[in-house]
Structure 1
Amino acid sequence: MSSSLNLTLTDELRAFIDRNCGDGTLYATPTEFMRDVLREKKERLEADELRAGLLEGYQDAIAGRTTTFSGNLKSDMAQFKKRGR
């Protein structure tokens, strides 16, 4: 599914897009360029969230806030949720 979105840009941003589209560039159209920019931004935000979660887990481990895995994931998750973590 796709939909369209109209944007109002500053002259500087429009010129930046135009410089990156057309003959001799990686992108044929401004739409291709903007899709790629948005995909990169989305990936960067997702990576930031993952890093934050990993850091939180690392800090928990350093502080001794760990749990032993019993071998029963369903049971462990129920206990985990019960504790509010």
Structure 2
Amino acid sequence: MENAYENKMVKRLNTTLPDPLARYVGEITGKGALYETPSEFIRDLIRRHMEKAQDVERGQINAMLAQSLRENDYSDWTNSDLADARKVARE
């Protein structure tokens, strides 16, 4: 059975911040600040997190591909290799 929270789209967040976090968000948001609104700040955090997760995933894929290239023998197939493959295919 699929988890009820799996693939759930969240369009609105409502959260309570402890005072130190609330002060920080207040300092970096508003007119003339780094972000216009707290929502803009949160969207930027989420985008950065997504990019970081994608970079990690790409790195893992590249590492697996490099490992595969190191570990496998990519020499040309011989007639014997082809005969063995045909035999397995017929079985």
Q: Per the shorter chain, which TM-score range?
A: 0.5 to 0.7
CA separation of 1:15/1:62 partners in 2, compared to 1, >3 Å: closer, same or farther?
Answer: same
Unaligned runs of 5+ in 2: 1-8, 77-91
Aligned residue for 1:61?
69
How well do the aligned residues superpose, as a CA RMSD in angstroms?
2.3
- What does 1:1-85 align with in structure 2 at a 5 Å threshold? 3-64=11-72
Question: Highest Rg: 1 or 2?
Answer: 2
Q: Distance in 2 between matches of 1:52 and 1:65?
A: 22
Unaligned runs of 5+ in 1: 69-85
TM-score (norm 1): 0.66
Following TM superposition, the consecutive aligned residue runs of length 4 or more in structure 1 with deviations greater than 6 angstroms are none
TM-score (norm 2): 0.63
Identity %: 31
The higher-RCO structure (CA 8 Å, 6+ apart) is: 1
Secondary structure of 2:21's match? helix
**Shift in Å, 1:23:** 2.4
Judge which range, 29-38 or 8-17, deviates more: 8-17
**Shift in Å, 1:35:** 0.5
